Each structure stands twice: as structure tokens, then as C-alpha cells.
Amino acid sequence: MLAGLSVRQKVAQLVMPRLPGSYSALDDSAFLVAQRWVDSLEVGGIIIFAGSPFDIAAKLNVLQRRSRLPLLVSADLEWGAGMRVVGATTFPQIMAVGATGDPRDAYTIGEAAAVEGRAVGIHVNFAPDADLNNNPLNPIINTRSFGEDPRAVSKLVQAYVRGLRDHGMLATLKHFPGHGDTQADSHIGLPVITAGYAQLDTQELVPFRAGIDAGADVVMSAHIAFPAVTGDSGPATLSAAALTGLLRDSLRFHGVVVTDALDMGAIVTKYGSGEATVRAFLAGADLLLIPADPDSAVNAMTAAVASGRASRERLDASVRRVLEIKRRLGLLEHRTVPLDSIMRVVGAKRYQDAANDLAVRALTLVRDTAGTLRALRAKRSRLALIAYSDEGNATVGFTLADVLRRNGDTVDYFRLWPMSGPASYDSARSVLARAPTVVFASNVKPISSRGNIALPDSLARLITATDSGKPTVMITFGSPYLLNQAPTVKTYLLAWSGARACERAAARALLGYSPISGHLPIRLPPPSAYGVGFGIVIPDSTVPPLPPPVAQP
């Protein structure tokens, strides 16, 4: 196969543009572009984004049939196929697995992502995230990481990799050599990690070594500067010292190296689409993900080979790795997927049950100094529920409120948004004034290109003021570090994710129907206040039974 390809065709095998997974007609203008990528540009793969199972599978089947060689299809399925496939199983963010500390949970997420992803035509999962989230201000990793302890994270990374591999999907370790100790978002600019090699060797690189030992086939580079590794201020994605010297030579990784998206601000704003692609290839990357302009990327790479800037031998080595991956995945024999089997696989009950179970066991209680949570667990109550989330989650708190109401609590619900002004906060205070107990439910999560991860100051002040006057519970369905902004709150419960399974789990905890048994996989500031492994355990046996109903005269 390799011998039958021209230089331009070989180059195109390394380029993977992005395709929406939503429905489109065959003659839709956007889908015509994708067909041209396959027909004329002859790209080697596609990165699929969100859509329904049938839309994704049907789209990919059309492109696979048109392609001269089978397409390698990739997607981010960090917390299960539900991250990209509507209706597939949505697990909690993987830091919830850090809270249980059980490698079987990591394996199950990998297994489910593989089984459901392969059913719709996805072959490579851009996960697990092997970063150590050892910086509370990190705006883009956060709950996407298993935690910050290298040994604990390594065990979970290995289990996740095995779950994928055992069920026919390739695993990707990211973001090499580590994106956890940053305060900047590489979608916007270039973060710089000043740590020396000694720290990287004993911290950041440990989970990557473990994942490679477990058989990970792919490693994704980080758009981050590591002067101690690279010797300059450029990103690791464009550094031979990082991708060849450190990854291939020192860590002995022999699989496929992929770039993070080449249209991200840390790369494209300085180098442009074509030059960024060439530099990433020369640094040691095999697959070139989401160039800002796929045509420019192919043209620039072809010109680099023609001029001798990039050698034909190096090109052949990368293409051979990609073709070998396609052969191992069985794509040379079967490249399409049957649509009639999707409903038997995607979103199946066994994985939904596993997600619900994980959400319950991951709940982590950091504080309950006034006993507010225990009081709520002991009897049915009337409470105000003030919900807040970032963009994209208009239903935060809905499931929580619904489960509480169906089980006897009286709940007054009010929703705040990032753009909420004084009038909205006045309305929230009116709701708070009518209830004897308050629950604040927030979902603040990593969002690309936003650059920070925090509550609005006005909401943090409202939580602090309310907590000082009446029983208050603060539940976070996203970043665990929000205690920074409301440091005096007396009850603080971590549910890790905005998935419905996590809201149901939190409701069951408030009702006293489930134990609370999770432990912190990260430290919560102030320094040393709550270390890795901390967690207040409330077993079922401590919850008094509900009294029998009183007979009415």
C-alpha cells in the first residue's frame, strides 16, 4: 500500500480534519467539503464531533465508502461515548474515578467508550487524560484529570487504556509531557511550565510511562512550552527534543504521535496553518490534527518533502505507522458499521447502571461542620435550590430538584447564569428568604478558550452571606476548587460532573438513601487544609430511618 502512494497521498494520510457529527444531506455545502477531503485531498482520517449515533454512523459510512483507503476515525470520549454521541452513556468526569480510587471504574469507562464508539464507526479515543492536575487554577484540565498523585493516577490511566484496548479501540495519552501545572489555556495562548526535568521525571511523566507500559498506541502532544526539556520557549508540539528525544528515545514509545489541534491559539496565531503542520511533523508527530486549513497543510508538507526539508524516509515511517494501525483495527476488511445494531449497543442499560453506580461512590464530602447535610438526610425538608452553571448547561439542578421533590422534599428552584445581573440576584434572595435551608448547586467546568474557571464574585458573596445566616449546603458538579471563593461555607459536597447520574447521586445523598464514601484525589487550598485522600465518610447506618407517617384525625 505504501509503495502505491505518491508523496502527496502519503502526506494526506497524516492529516485529520474535524467533521461535525450532526445530520446533513449529501449535497449540504459543509458535507460536500468533507467529501472533497476524501475524494481529492485523500486525507487519512477524520475527527468526529457531536451528533446522534445514526447521524455519525451514516456520515462516516458514506465517507468510508468514498475513500480510497479506509479512514481512521477519532473522537474525544474522555468520560464515555456520551461526550460526543448523543444518547450514548455519559459517565462522570474522570476525576470522579480518582475519588473512588478504583481501577475497575477507569476500566469500565474505557470499555464503554470502546464498545459504543466502535458501534458508530469511531476507532481512536483521544483519552485518557494522563495529566496531573496539580495547579488549582488550571482553566482547561481540572476534572478531566484523574487527580494529582502520580502513582494513583498511573494505576487509573493503565486501567482505562486496558478497557479501551480489550474492546477494540485505541487509547491516546494526553497532553504530553503534561498540561496539569498551568494557569493558561492553550486554546488561547502558550502556557509555560518552568519546572525542571527532575520534577517532570518524578511527577508529570509518571502516568505517561505507565500508560505506555499498558499498551497505549497513541500519545498526543501539548501546546505548552517546557524550556527545561526543549531548551527554548516554543511549544512541545513543535519540539524534536520533546516528541523525539523525550517521548521516543527516553520513554521508548513506538506508537503513533499525534498533535493536539493545530488550529489552537498557541500554535496557529504564530506559525500559520501550513508552517505549523511542517514543524510538528519535523518535531516527531505522525498524525496532524485539525489544521486550520487542510489544503494548506497538505501543500506545505508536500513542498517540504520536495525541497528536502522533510525526508521521504521519515514520511514513510509515519505513514507506515498509520497504515499498520488501520490494519490492526481490521479496517482493511471492514470499514463501515451496520446501522441496525446501534440501538442494541449505544446507551445500553449495563453501562448506564455503571455510570449511576460510579456517581454515587464518587461523592466526596469535604465539610459538614454544622451538621446540615446530616440533618437533611434525617428527615424531609423544605429548601431553596439556587443553581448556577457556565454556558451550555441550561438544566443544571433540574434532576437534583426533581429527585428531591419526588421523595418528599419541598424545593423552590432558582437559576442564575454568568450574565445574571442585580435584578436576578435580588430574585434569588427572595427565594432564599422563604426557605429554612439552602442548597447551592454549581457546575463550573473547563471550557475551551474561556481562560478561567471560577464562580462569579457576586455568587460567591451570596453563598458566603447565606451560609452565615442559615443552614446551607454547597454542591459542586464541576471544579472541586470553588471552596477558594467561599472558604467559610460549612457544608461542601463534591459531585464532580454535571451528568444526570451525578445529580441523581447528590439527591440520594441529601435524602439519606446512599452512603457518601469518596476521597479527594487532589488537594484543596488553603495549603494542606484538605489533602489527597481526605473525605468524610457517611455510611448508610448513620442515617436514622424515616419516622412512620402520623395518622391524621
Here the CATH number for the domain that contains residue 488 is 3.40.50.1700
Residue 287 in grid coordinates? 498524525
- What length is written for the chain? 553
187 classed as catalytic: yes
**523 CB contacts (<8 Å, ≥6 apart)?**
136, 148, 530, 531, 532
pLDDT at 309: 97
Q: Same domain for 133 and 110?
A: yes
Does 375 map to a domain?
Answer: yes
Q: State how far the Cα of 264 lies from the Cα of 151, in Å rounded to an integer.
A: 31
pLDDT at 188: 66
pLDDT at 448: 62
Location of C-alpha cell 480510587 = 101
CA torsion 136-133-281-252 (nearest 10°) is 150
Among residues 308, 342, 376, the one where a domain terminates is: 342
pLDDT at 450: 67
Q: How far is CA 514 from each of CA 49, 403, 491, rounded to the nearest angstrom?
A: 35, 13, 17
Q: What is the CATH number of the domain that holds 16?
A: 3.20.20.300
Q: Same domain for 280 and 365?
A: no
260 classed as catalytic: yes
Among residues 296, 320, 342, the one where a domain terminates is: 342
Does 546 map to a domain?
Answer: no
In this structure, how many other beta carbons lie within 10 angstroms of the beta carbon of residue 429?
15
Q: Same domain for 450 and 505?
A: yes
Given the residues 260, 286, 368, 409, select the one marked as catalytic.
260
pLDDT at 543: 47
Q: Same domain for 15 and 126?
A: yes
Measuring CA to CA, which residue among 416, 398, 400 is closest to residue 457? 416
Q: Same domain for 386 and 265?
A: no
Q: What is the mean pLDDT of each run of 10 residues along the chain (553 residues)?
A: 97 97 95 97 97 98 98 98 97 98 98 98 98 90 96 98 98 94 72 86 96 98 88 87 95 96 79 89 96 93 97 98 97 97 97 97 97 95 95 84 96 95 97 97 80 89 97 97 95 96 96 96 84 93 46 42
Q: Domain of 506?
A: 352-538
pLDDT at 552: 42
Among residues 322, 342, 362, the one where a domain terminates is: 342
Q: State how far the Cα of 497 lies from the Cα of 513, in Å rounded to an integer.
A: 20
3 state SS for 291-348: CCCHHHHHHHHHHHHHHCCCCHHHHHHHHHHHHHHHHHCCCCCCCCCCHHHHHHHCCC
Given the residues 187, 223, 286, 519, select the one marked as catalytic.
187
pLDDT at 195: 83
The model's pTM? 0.94
Residue-wise DSSP of 503-514:
HHHHHHHHHTSS
